[in-house]
Every structure is written in C-alpha cells, then in structure tokens.
Amino acid sequence: MLDALVLQQLHRSRFDADPMLFAAPGRVNLIGEHTDYAEGFVMPAAIDFATLAAISPRTDGRIALWAENYGEARLLEALPTERSGDWSDYPLGVLRMLADDGHAIPGLSLSLWGDVPLGSGLSSSASVEVATAVAVVALLGLPYSGPELARLCQRAENQFVGASCGIMDQFISANGRANHALLLDCRDLSYRLAPIPAHVALVIANTMVKHSIAGGEYGSRRAEVELACSILARHRPEIRFLRDATLEDLERWGDEIPEVARRRARHVISENLRTVAAAEALEQNDLEQVGRLMQAAHRSYSQDFEASCAEADRMVELAEALPGCLGARLTGGGFGGCTVNLVEQEQAAAFKTALGRQYRERTGIEPEIYLCRASDGAHRLTL
C-alpha cells in the first residue's frame, strides 16, 4: 500500500534531506476516446491510484532519482537531451521541458512511488509526469497553473518520451476533482465538472491484456484520423481537426476517404457528440442516458475504431448483463487495458465478484477489479 510517510522516511534515509511530498493520480475515462488529439471532448475522472513524489534540493548540482517501484536509482551530472527508454524518461522529460521553458534546473533529489497499474490504460505515465511536475515547480517556486502543468507534461511525453498522446491524461491528473468527472474541451482546455452521484460506484475491470500507447496501433489510428480530416478539409478549409467536422460532412464527402479511415472518422465525430451529451446527462443526473451513451461509445470504439480486443469486448458484454450495471466500456488508448463500469453502489460488491468469476470462466484469465473513487488531481501532501 502506498504510504506517504514511508516514502518520506525512505527519501530521508537515502538522501539525508527532508522532502516536500506530492501526489498525482491516474485516471479513468468515462467517455471520449481518441478525441483529444482531434481537439474534441473527453470526460475522464482522476482515480485513487496515484504516484507519490518526494523532493528536496541538493547542493552538488546533480539530479538524483529513485524509483521505489523498480528499486532503481539514477544520478546525473546534467540533464540528458535524449531518452534512455526506461522509467527515468518520464521525470527527466518533465525536467527537460522545464529547462526548455527557460528555467535553470538546480540540483535535486526526487523519489517516486506509485500504485497505478502499469500498462493498463489508467495513465500511470501521466501520473509520474504530473507528480514530478508539481514537485519540481513547487521546489523552484514557479507559477504553473494546472492546465499549464498538463501541457508541460504532454510535451514531455510527446517530445522526450516519444509517445504521440493527446492532453487528456495529463490534464485530468493535474486538474481532477473528488467525486466529479471533468468534461474537457481539448481545443482551448476549458472544462466543467460534473458530479458523480454518491449512489454510483466507479468499477474498473482490468482485462490483464497489456496496453501501450508507444505501440504502433495508437499512432496508426491517429494517422488515419488525420488523413480523414485532411480530405474533408479540402472541401471545408475551416476543418482543422475532426472536431470541426460533422456527420453530414462525412456523409457528403466520405466516398473520397479510404474506407478504414472513414470509419475511424465516424468514431471520432460521433464520439464528440456522445461525450458532450454524456456530460449533460450526468449533470441532469440521468445515469441511464449516460449508460446508453457509454454502450454506444464502446460499440463505436470496437467496430469503427477497432481499438478493442476480444477480452475487453467480453468484459463489457458480461458487465452489461449484470444487475446494477448502468454502463460499461473499454477505457483509455485501447487494445487491452481496463473497462470502466458505472454500477449502482449497493450492487457494486456483487458486481465485482460476479464479473471476476464470469470473466475467468470465459477467458481463462484472472482479472483484477478495482472499486475506485473519483479523486482530486495533483496536490501537495502535508503529514
């Protein structure tokens, strides 16, 4: 179990210094998949899995990193300009971007420890980046706002780590709110918070099929989305991203788009509509409508976007048939990872047991199922 007090003690004994402590959560996306880089809408919530960061200054000018999860240290004389392909890329990428913003990076010791399941589509990487970022800007006394922190961390991932992700994960990790989902407009980063009612549990079911956004499928989907966009833009130049396109545009000029890219575009354009509608339904406490939209979103993600997998489709299908399930869909970048389920609180424990048993019987895989709470975004911890 993550424990800030334990991390504080580990940091003290390793670096002989009293650290400041921070936490940055992972996330689950309720709806709005592969829409963020098309400048569309997403509606994630921060969850109660997180990365903790302990930070203290050093007088020798070096950068010392400790990853409690891996039991590994790094000691650097200077910031690297290239990635090394391991866990240290995430914190170092953030430091690199701060340096690129013109901030001198002084000597510092940073300890990291997280419990966001890795490779499960719950944004463990974003939580490491955001935990690093809040810790370092506090150490340096820099006035980064939550949205600015998110942009900084996205740049670290795009430019240093080399993964072409959008803004969703970093944004919600930096700006989430307990008991709320957040509808984000990825064009201008304006957002509204929508309360998740107390009678609804957030159940996350891990298919145990590993997911990675560094893998080729994420990038190839993104390229197909951009191809469809560029073809529509020939007719309507104001279409800069698929966010600007309508289903009518696709109807009218879709013949010119290769069939696969056309289906990818149909997913993104319809997903934007569903996401905004789901936020309105949540605000009106219409959970049945939220559930219907999640169901439609999963079909679209699986069939048009082809970003699901047999195990995730099975997990969703089993969930939808269980008592108390309001909505279920694959969450995150796709090709494995977790499903998100909105479940009546009273039935959540029974749902968890039944879903776990049925998934194991049908797939032979032992899933992990987490009863989560929508949580606050990155913050300082005071013990």
Burial-class residue 120 by CB neighbours within 10 Å (0-12, 13-18, 19+): buried
Binding mask 317-336 for ligand GLA (x = CB under 6 A): ---------------xx---
**24 binds ligand GLA per the rule CB under 6 A:** no
CA proximity to 297, closest of 72, 15, 41: 41
Alpha-carbon distances of 123 from 269, 274, 308, 349, rounded to whole Å: 24, 22, 17, 25
Interaction residues for ligand GLA, span 125-144 (CB under 6 A): none
Residues classed as catalytic: 169
CA distance 219 to 227: 12
Q: Find the binder of ligand GLA among 26, 147, 166, 176 (CB under 6 A).
A: 166
CA proximity to 281, closest of 171, 177, 181: 181
- Other beta carbons within 10 Å of 45: 26
Cβ contact 344:326 at 8 Å: yes
Residue 81 token pair? 């300009």
Q: Which is nearer to ligand GLA, 36 or 311 (CB)?
A: 36
Instruction: Identify which range of 89-97, 135-143, 163-171, 284-292 contacts ligand GLA by CB under 6 A.
Output: 163-171
Q: Find the binder of ligand GLA among 184, 213, 282, 355 (CB under 6 A).
A: 213
Q: Find the binder of ligand GLA among 169, 249, 304, 313 (CB under 6 A).
A: 169
Q: Which is nearer to ligand GLA, 264 or 352 (CB)?
A: 264
Q: Please, what is the minimum distance in Å from the beta carbon of residue 168 to ligand GLA?
A: 5
Q: Please, what is the minimum distance in Å from the beta carbon of residue 269 to ligand GLA?
A: 15
Q: Binders of ligand GLA: how many residues, by CB under 6 A?
A: 11
Residue 248 parent element (H or E): helix 247-253
Q: Find the binder of ligand GLA among 8, 26, 33, 231 (CB under 6 A).
A: 33
Q: Please, what is the minimum distance in Å from the beta carbon of residue 196 to ligand GLA?
A: 19
Instruction: Identify which range of 28-36, 60-68, 139-147, 244-252 contacts ligand GLA by CB under 6 A.
Output: 28-36
CA distance 31 to 340: 9
Cβ contact 25:127 at 8 Å: yes
**172 binds ligand GLA per the rule CB under 6 A:** no
Residue 97 parent element (H or E): helix 89-100
**186 binds ligand GLA per the rule CB under 6 A:** no
**176 binds ligand GLA per the rule CB under 6 A:** no
Q: Which is nearer to ligand GLA, 37 or 241 (CB)?
A: 37
**177 binds ligand GLA per the rule CB under 6 A:** no
Q: Which is nearer to ligand GLA, 77 or 188 (CB)?
A: 188
Q: Please, what is the minimum distance in Å from the beta carbon of residue 146 to ligand GLA?
A: 17
Q: What is the 3-state secondary structure (H, E, C) of 250-319?
A: HHHHHHHCCHHHHHHHHHHHHHHHHHHHHHHHHHCCCHHHHHHHHHHHHHHHHHHCCCCCHHHHHHHHHH
Instruction: Identify which range of 33-41, 132-140, 318-326, 358-366 contacts ligand GLA by CB under 6 A.
Output: 33-41
Give DSSP secondary structure letters for 116-178.
SPTTSSS-HHHHHHHHHHHHHHHHHT----HHHHHHHHHHIIIIII-----SHHHHHHHH--T
Q: Which is nearer to ligand GLA, 190 or 285 (CB)?
A: 190
- Other beta carbons within 10 Å of 228: 29
Q: Which is nearer to ligand GLA, 69 or 212 (CB)?
A: 212
- Other beta carbons within 10 Å of 61: 11
CA proximity to 341, closest of 333, 350, 221: 350
**147 binds ligand GLA per the rule CB under 6 A:** no
Cβ contact 328:319 at 8 Å: yes
**271 binds ligand GLA per the rule CB under 6 A:** no
SS3 206: strand
Q: Which is nearer to ligand GLA, 56 or 125 (CB)?
A: 125
Q: Which is nearer to ligand GLA, 147 or 333 (CB)?
A: 333
Residue 158 token pair? 């795009």
Q: Please, what is the minimum distance in Å from the beta carbon of residue 298 to ligand GLA?
A: 13
Instruction: Identify which range of 164-172, 226-234, 246-254, 260-268 contacts ligand GLA by CB under 6 A.
Output: 164-172
Q: For binding to ligand GLA (CB under 6 A), which residues are involved?
A: 33-34, 36-37, 165-166, 168-169, 213, 332-333
